[in-house]
A and B are shown apart, each in its own frame.
Chain A
Amino acid sequence: MMALSADNKRIYIRRAVFALLLLATAVIQNTKGFLPEPFGVRAFPLIPLTVCLGMHERDVPGLFFGLGAGLIWDAFSAAPHGYYAFLLMSAGFLSGALIATVMRNNIMTALLLTVTSSFAVVTLNWLITYVFNGYGGAGMAYLTFYLPSFAYTLLFLPLCFYAVRVIKNKLI
């Protein structure tokens, strides 16, 4: 059996650490009582973390991190089959692909990509839950729950971005 080079070993260790970070974040997000819910508004920290992992690890690893995050979220959500797996896989893949081709890897691009991904997820949630079902009060729900949840989610970006960067720098 071929021995792992020191570089490859560090990459595997780093990705294992990222997988653990993802798992911990999924558990924190899905367990009631770990994250405060001011005025009933909820946060989805898996989105910024997936984007940051895609940015730092590039497209293919980002795709698999996103898929993993989405599958765990799906296992505990009321969403249709594989819904979050597809959304987060897309977010991780596109973030990595954009950083590899046209964007720089910094907090501003992380903000831009997280804003886009989070906005897409909460707006799709709202469309599926309210608009496609024809429920009343859809506009008010968007303003009082979905948009505030989107803003709340963005608060987790700096933490995710710097946590991923520190881990990557330590295990580069």
Chain B
Amino acid sequence: MFRFFKSIGFKIFLGLTAALLAGAVTAALLNNNSAPQTSAAGLIFGPLQRFSSYMADGLSDFSVYFKSSAVLSEENEELKKEIARLTDELVDYEQSKNKLTLYEKFLDVKEENPSFKFAAAPVIARDPGDKFFGFTAGRGSIHGISVDDPVIYGKYLVGVVTSVMPTQCKVSTLLNPAVNVSAFEISTRESGFVTTTPELSEKGLCRLPGLERTTAIVPGSVVVTSGIGGIYPRNLIIGTVDEIANDITDISSFAVIKPGVDPTQLQDVFIITSFEGQVGSDEGQGQ
């Protein structure tokens, strides 16, 4: 046993453990919330992960058409080649169409909020160990992304950037219990903060706690961001009220909210890098 602790392998192990600890301490001191060694790994392997994500999307689109092509290939070789060519075009068309739909939605948001500055970001990876549906987006500090930037899809809030590397960033979604968003219901103007619990997160739901027992909010009501706190801009849609329930710990009620977008299905998002009223931004300092 004593020989094991004196071995070169164990000394290297201790040295690397110390280096990892130093990286963790550095990350805690930096504003980007990312350890140097993690940033370096992200910088090196990010492009590969981005390519892999693109391939996964392409394959899911292609599989349906590939089957048709295989059946028709028995009829004649020429027709098969033609189908393969058309299939490629169709996949390109579908991807372009999806992209166009996405940009149309953001054009609406941009027209309504001229102060917003965006960065379009593909979803490049998902950590299988993260039970709360966080993901990695393919834009980072060199694209102007910072920690706490809001992440949206169309007019819907998706989540918030929690750490930034040079070419990518990690996003926590509304389905993470650590995320809190100040919000209000648009018809009654009752306000609070939207968060979730692990149980609700599993069902893809959030909650707006602290409502009066006599609350006028009804299922189907729309909940939007209030802009209080300066992290999220005002009037981004969070979701619709699914039900009203009484809290078991006090005399208040809470609204169960179904978010407007399913974060598990997203392939692209937009990150708001600057908006009027943002904490710490030039836009916000003029307020």
Contact with B along A27-65 (1 / 0, CB 8 A): 111111111000010111000000000000001100100
- Given A82-B24, A97-B9, CB of A76 within 8 Å of CB of B131: no
Chain A residues with Cβ below 8 Å from B21 are: 82
Contact with B along A132-166 (1 / 0, CB 8 A): 01011110110001000100000000000000000
- Given A33-B56, A136-B198, CB of A81 within 8 Å of CB of B38: yes
A125 in the interface (beta carbon within 8 A): yes
Which of B7, B46, B134, B162 makes the CB contact (< 8 A) with A75? B46
What is the size, in residues, of chain B's interface with A at 8 Å between Cβ atoms? 56
Chain A residues with Cβ below 8 Å from B60 are: 33
A12–B73 CA distance with the chains assembled, in angstroms? 44
- Given A63-B9, A78-B172, A79-B129, CB of A97 within 8 Å of CB of B49: no
Q: Known pairs A42-B129, A81-B24; list 15 more (Cβ under 8 Å).
A: A27-B48, A27-B49, A32-B125, A32-B126, A44-B129, A71-B38, A72-B41, A75-B165, A76-B127, A76-B170, A81-B35, A125-B129, A135-B197, A137-B198, A138-B198
List B residues at the A interface (Cβ < 8 Å).
4, 7-10, 12-13, 16-17, 20-21, 23-24, 27-28, 34-35, 37-42, 45-46, 48-49, 52-53, 56-57, 59-60, 124-132, 134, 136, 162, 165, 168, 170, 172, 177-178, 197-199, 202, 264
A/B interface sample: 13 pairs, CB < 8 A? A43-B128, A59-B9, A60-B9, A71-B37, A75-B49, A78-B132, A79-B127, A79-B130, A82-B37, A84-B129, A90-B13, A136-B198, A149-B128
List A residues at the B interface (Cβ < 8 Å).
23, 26-35, 40, 42-44, 59-60, 63, 67, 71-82, 84-86, 89-90, 93, 96-97, 101, 121, 125, 129-130, 133, 135-138, 140-141, 145, 149
